[in-house]
Amino acid sequence: MTVINTAMAVSEASLLEVGRPEFIALATLTLIILLGYIGVPLWSWSLFAAAVLSLSHPPIWVWSLFLIVALVFNVPWLRQKLLTSFVVKTLQTLQIFPKISETEKAAIEAGNVWVDGEFFSGKPNFERILNEPYPQLTPEIQSFLDGPVEQVCRMASDWEIYQRQDLPPDVWTYLKQERFFGMMIPEEYGGLGFSNLAYSAVMAKLASRSFTHVATVGVTNSLGPAKLLLRYGTEEQKHHYLPRLARGEDIPCFALTEPQAGSDAASITSSGVVFKGEDGQLYLKLNWNKRYITLGAIATLLGLAFQLHDPDNLLGKGEHPGITCALIPTKTPGVIHNRRHDPMGVPFYNSPLEGHDIIVPIGQIIGGIEQAGQGWKMIMQTLAAGRGISFPATCTGVTKLVARVAGAHAVVRKQFGLSIGRFEGVEEPLARIGGFTYMIDAARLYTCGAIDNGEQPAVVSAIAKSQTTELARRVVLDGMDILGGAGICRGPRNLLANIYTAMPIAITVEGANILTRSLMIFGQGAIRSHPYIYDEILALEQSDVAAFDQAFWSHLGLIVRNGARAGLLCLTRGRLTRSPIQGETAIFYRKLAWAAATFANLSDLAMLSLGGALKRREKLTGRFADMLAWMYLGSATLRCFEAEGQQVKDLPLVHWSMQYALAQIQQAIEGVIYNLPILGTGLRQPILGLWRLSPLGTVPSDELGHQVAQILLMPGPERDRLTRDIYLPNHTEEAVGRLEAALRLSVQTAPILKTIKNAIARGQLPPSKPSQLVDKALEKGIINTQEARSLQQAEISRSNTIQVDSFTLEEYQQKNSIPSGALHISSHVTSA
């Protein structure tokens, strides 16, 4: 405040000395913007107004009026009585703020606000963002990855799993034996007691082998009854069920989705009616029709979400307590689970489930009678963190595998005498694969650190789920494009086709991405993560003038500050802010601060101008979600780079990722500005013009993309670090091992081939493919015997690697109509 007062005093002296109205007006406006940028409190604005007023030497009555206004604004009880109470009545009459239903409130209050709140503040605290925990794998977990996880990956290839349409029996046995289904269950109940990071690392490695692994193991750990039991179950329920789940004696599933209740899960119609039996005990009579239930067909323990009805109020919670969760053994008479869906041909169990007049004791409600009617809250709180773990882990394993495969294939596969990775058309998707892989892994680790630290970041989890699955889908598409024919011909040599067909599943489940983007991320975040909106809504609902007063006037101050910050940071391209880190990444912290101020300012403009109608403007909320999501992904990327010791050779990945993220934010901001009704044509065009003249971000350059692509094309520590902790068989009987061996040989022999090419250019050898001139080059002493042998070995390896599978007509027909449990079908290979 000393600096502000001094600046004001100097400005006053200058204004008195100059005395020109134009200069006074300009200086006053400048100070208003600067004070707004700093975000001074209300009383400071009053002092500033008094200073400006004194320059015109007003009569005493003007001073008296000013004093009255200043007192009204600065004395809380006066402000509440004379101003805030009127604002409350007006807003209640106009119904500008949205009404929040009980189910919406449960979703909003599920979990807590984490770093997402920093972006809604408009002035993110990057010291806090950088100091959030960044987890590291312990030796014990690394040992589990190198031992049991490596072993289960080795036991069956993805091709074999698809041929069987199931995991082989010995894999099921091994998963149970090594407690894969109880990773998140504490040791006291017979589980492994893993952290979220450990579970994530296991899932990532399993995903690099087969999507069927992660679908099978993931549900038992992240969405099955075990999670709900651990948090809400009675002690009796925990001690009975958790050890059985940990050992795999019970296979769980969780039944939520119905034909008429998908994303709108609160509309479920499955019912449970409380009644008193002849023995005087309370029971539930259940009926349901569920679908899309993973593991449903083989589950022995069903977690069921249903609407609880209590017509006689036997539980003392009214006739309709609400959504409730219960445990139903699938051997209970009336349970039908003998069918399965076929999700994109991926052979994990996914099933419809029916229950007709099922009778179970009231004690089967998870948590007992006390938790009756609390099912929606339980589900929302479980999903609040769960989305942020399983999906980023799966996508990390998938994208790391694609990065290895696409990079190696781009070296081994040749066209026009060159490795296809040397063509800029291939470099472009390789750069996206590398940048997105780095970003996805950064988001995975950063989110895991938060959840292991006790956070339940619902908005961040929604971002992590939707963004990592969308980016992974793009990575797989790029990988398929690079592999060409080798990517589309199925068989044991094909490494990407099954992943390609599986990606829509990750996009769709646990909150379809369209819904997550257009409704959840910003719709939930704008209320829950904003510093004041939720407090204002609750205060209005309760007619609490004092609470509304505190939130409302602070909110107005925030709007002024973020408006000034957004404008000044745009004009200076973020240079007014301070970066907590010096060096090459400093610019990205300043640009993220600029982005956050603009995001917060536009958010408030949208919410205050559209009110409850903003919920229906889903294209706008989707663009706001994009801004928030890419700010989070960018922050996670920067946190990753710092946490891993500022690896200089990773800088191309960091620069590419950050430039891409900022370009997406830029695009989303332009979309909001162009479509926000409050910004009429008169404001919209100048603002858009300013943004395009001084853009927040532009797409990464071709040279930067080349540097990222080189990381994928060259064996070495950078490539290994980017793709660490996935399953990489080192024997050439498997496609990945064969491809990696061919890559190494190709890179090792590249200098020898260059020697032959130079000899051709000098006329020492006839024009031809270098691989066809090995013997002549040896005869003329251009290369030695060892070099010739290396070239021949590399060519044999390359030729073998680029083959694709083919089948006889009988084999093909058998392959596509194979009964469950049948044995592996061999394949032949043909040139790609």
Instruction: For residue 582, count other CB atoms closer than 10 A to its CB.
Output: 7
The single residue listed with the structure tokens 């609400």 is 322
Choice among 118, 258, 510, 718 that is catalytic: 510
Tokens encoding 117: 């709140």
Q: Is the dihedral of CA 329, 330, 334, 335 positive or negative?
A: positive
Beta bridge partners of 828: 806
What does the DSSP assignment read for 89-145? HHHHHHT-SPP--HHHHHHHHSSB--THHHHHHTS--HHHHHHS------HHHHHHI
The answer to whether residues 489 and 805 touch, using CB atoms and an 8 Å cutoff, is yes
- Is 510 part of the annotated catalytic residue set? yes
The span from the CA of 429 to the CA of 481, in Å, is 8
User: What does the alpha-carbon distance between residue 337 and residue 299 come to, in Å, rounded to a whole number?
Assistant: 8
Q: Which helix (H) or strand (E) holds 275?
A: strand 271-276
Please state at what angle helix 545-572 crosses helix 21-38, rounded to 10 degrees. Answer: 110
User: How far apart, in whole angstroms, are the C-alpha atoms of residue 418 and residue 381?
Assistant: 54
> What kind and span of H or E run contains 355?
strand 350-361
Q: In angstroms, rounded to a whole number, what is the distance separating the alpha carbons of residues 284 and 262?
A: 24
Calpha distance 155→409 (Å, rounded): 25
Q: What are the residues whose beta carbons fall under 8 Å from the beta carbon of 139, sequence distance 6 or more?
A: none
Nearest to 645 by CA among 589, 714, 721, 711: 721
Query: What is the rounded CA–CA span in Å between residue 457 and residue 452?
Result: 11
Alpha-carbon span 644 to 746, nearest angstrom: 30
Spatial separation of the C-alpha atoms in residues 251 and 746, rounded to whole Å: 47
The residue ranges of DSSP E strands in 277-321, in sequence order, are 282-294, 301-309
Structure token pair of residue 285 = 């009579």
Cα 101 to Cα 143: distance, rounded to the nearest angstrom: 48
Burial class (CB in 10 A: 0-12, 13-18, 19+), 645: exposed
How many helices (H) and strands (E) the chain has is answered by 36, 11
Q: Cα(81)–Cα(410) distance, rounded to whole angstroms?
A: 72
Q: Going by C-beta distance under 8 Å and a sequence separation of 6 or more, which residues neighbour residue 758?
A: none
Copy the structure tokens of residue 828: 């032949």
Instruction: Give me the residues paired with residue 355 across strands.
Output: 288, 335
- Rounded Cα gap, residues 631 and 124, in angstroms: 10
Beta-carbon contacts of residue 143 (< 8 Å; ≥ 6 apart): none
Neighbouring residues of 778: CB distance < 8 A, sequence distance ≥ 6: 784, 785, 787, 788
Residue with tokens 């603009």: 598
CB 638 within 8 A of CB 585: yes
**H or E stretch at 357:** strand 350-361
Side chain identity at residue 470, one-letter code: E
At 698, the amino acid letter reads T
Do residues 155 and 170 touch, judged by C-beta distance below 8 A?
Answer: yes
Residues belonging to the active site: 510
